[in-house]
């Protein structure tokens, strides 16, 4: 051995294990902070999306002196029953807002297929309906794949137009007959007005008499990632004028629906058809508080996604959901907001009077004489 050579002692096994344990503890401490930061960024993006949609509605109003309809279209009857073309009043307010949110190309595409629904033997409207635009999707949303129709690809949305505190429906009925099956009824193009700011009509901003800063225009809602997810909708048979929302609320146990056989799986799930305007797909009601279940309330089960119902707001953000007011501001609403008495049936869509559903119901109604803010 040469003189002056020095030996460098290595780490012992115990020392290595201590270092690894310390690194593990630090990672465990940092991971929740990283996840929280990511969620904060997703929530901010979601808030920006809501603001864009709300401002687009205001820009639409500036151009046409009317707010966009939640639901609009040509009024043609259903092609599978009485022969006829048309959108059956089913185009959403998101479609009408596209030119005001820098999506002119997407809007033009829809306009083209409205006039020429077939291209080279292919239903062009079906192709257009697959269009997806980033501002309609909340990054925190759980559902990316349609849970009830595997492989179906359509536009996604995380945001609905507020119909208010009544059971919002997507078409008119004459007894048990629905307008999309009868030419004479369809030709009437009857409006559907709700107690909220949006329906199958183009209200003036002056009709929002409760105040634009006190009335919800847009709200997040849950998009399902499984058949028993809260984003799905229950079929709750009953007279809409006599059935309270308490029965709907009782169907959710905090993790799943307690009667899976009542879950509607007969068509595209809510949030997976961005360009259809009926409330089932693109509406929100202020009856049950955010992150509550949704239920269709109607005596019949024929074509149920056109029926009146409770279409609840909700999100994957902790504690509640974000809403956009008619004036374009964005607020966060807690799931514990005062929602009044869910043992009282919802008011008629054309009815007046104060909301039975507390501050939450008052924020949804546009002209009930209630001036409340999200902070109350």
284 in Cβ contact with 290 (< 8 Å): no
Return the C-alpha torsion angle 129, 133, 138, 144, nearest 10: 50
pLDDT digits (tens, 9 = 90+) for 120-131: 555 656 667 888
pLDDT digits (tens, 9 = 90+) for 285-308: 999 999 999 999 988 656 578 889
Long-range contacts of range 144-147, CB-CB < 8 Å, 24 or more positions apart?
144/225, 145/225, 146/268, 146/269, 146/272, 147/224, 147/225, 147/226, 147/227, 147/229, 147/232, 147/269
DSSP β-ladder status, 159-164 and 283-285: parallel
Cβ count within 10 A of residue 3: 4
**pLDDT above 70 (res 242):** yes
Q: Among all chains, which residue has been given the structure tokens 């797909």?
A: 281
Q: Among all chains, which residue has been given the structure tokens 């999200």?
A: 374
DSSP β-ladder status, 216-220 and 320-325: antiparallel
Half-sphere exposure of 270 (CA within 13 A, CB side): 38
Mean pLDDT confidence for 199-226: 94
Confidence of residue 1 (pLDDT cuts 50, 70, 90): very low
118 in Cβ contact with 128 (< 8 Å): no
Residue extents of the structural domains in the chain: 35-364
What is the predicted pLDDT for the residue at 4? 53
Scanning the chain, the segments in alpha helix (DSSP H) are 13-64, 93-97, 104-115, 124-128, 183-188, 246-249, 279-282, 358-364
DSSP β-ladder status, 309-310 and 320-325: unpaired
pLDDT digits (tens, 9 = 90+) for 54-88: 999 999 999 999 999 999 877 777 666 665 556 77
Phi then psi dihedrals of residue 333, to 5 deg? -110, 125
Give rounded-to-5 percent helix, strand, coil for the chain.
Answer: 30, 15, 55
304 in Cβ contact with 296 (< 8 Å): yes
Mean pLDDT confidence for 322-346: 96
Q: Which of 88-92, 237-241, 277-281, 363-367 has the lowest mean pLDDT?
A: 88-92
Confidence of residue 320 (pLDDT cuts 50, 70, 90): very high
371 in Cβ contact with 211 (< 8 Å): yes
| 0.85 exceeded by pTM | yes
Half-sphere exposure of 235 (CA within 13 A, CB side): 17
Half-sphere exposure of 27 (CA within 13 A, CB side): 6
74 in Cβ contact with 86 (< 8 Å): yes
User: Comparing 214 with 369, which gets the higher pLDDT?
Assistant: 214
User: Comparing 189 with 326, which gets the higher pLDDT?
Assistant: 326
Surface-to-core class of residue 23, CB atoms within 10 Å of its CB (0-12 exposed, 13-18 middle, 19+ buried): exposed
């Amino acid at each position: 051995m040469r003189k002056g050579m020095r030996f460098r002692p290595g780490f012992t096994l115990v020392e290595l294990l201590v270092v690894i344990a310390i690194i593990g503890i630090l990672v465990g401490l940092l991971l929740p902070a990283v996840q929280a930061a990511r969620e904060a960024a997703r929530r901010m993006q979601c808030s920006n999306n809501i603001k864009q949609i709300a401002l687009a509605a205001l820009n639409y109003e500036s151009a046409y002196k009317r707010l966009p309809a939640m639901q609009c279209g040509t009024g043609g009857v259903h092609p599978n029953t009485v022969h006829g073309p048309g959108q059956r009043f089913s185009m959403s307010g998101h479609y009408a807002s596209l030119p005001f949110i820098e999506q002119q190309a997407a809007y033009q595409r829809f306009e083209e297929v409205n006039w020429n629904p077939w291209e080279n033997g292919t239903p062009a409207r079906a192709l257009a309906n697959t269009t997806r635009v980033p501002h309609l999707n909340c990054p925190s949303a759980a559902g990316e794949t349609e849970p009830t129709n595997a492989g179906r690809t359509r536009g996604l949305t995380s945001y609905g137009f507020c119909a208010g505190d009544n059971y919002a429906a997507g078409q008119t009925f004459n007894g048990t007959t629905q307008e999309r099956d009868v030419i004479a009824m369809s030709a009437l193009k009857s409006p559907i007005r709700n107690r909220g700011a949006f329906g199958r009509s183009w209200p003036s901003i002056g009709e929002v008499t409760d105040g634009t800063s006190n009335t919800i225009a847009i709200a997040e809602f849950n998009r399902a990632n499984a058949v028993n997810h809260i984003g799905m909708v229950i079929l709750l048979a009953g007279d809409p004028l006599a059935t309270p929302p308490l029965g709907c609320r009782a169907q959710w146990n905090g993790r799943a629906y307690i009667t899976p056989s009542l879950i509607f799986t007969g068509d595209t799930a809510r949030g997976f058809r961005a360009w259809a305007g009926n409330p089932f797909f693109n509406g929100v009601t202020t009856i049950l508080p955010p992150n509550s279940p949704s239920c269709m309330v109607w005596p019949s089960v024929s074509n149920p996604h056109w029926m009146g119902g409770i279409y609840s707001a909700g999100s994957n953000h902790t504690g509640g959901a974000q809403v956009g007011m008619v004036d374009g501001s964005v607020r966060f609403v807690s799931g514990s907001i005062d929602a009044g008495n869910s043992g009282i049936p919802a008011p008629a869509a054309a009815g007046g009077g104060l909301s039975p559903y507390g501050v939450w119901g008052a924020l949804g109604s546009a002209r009930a004489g209630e001036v409340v803010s999200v902070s109350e």
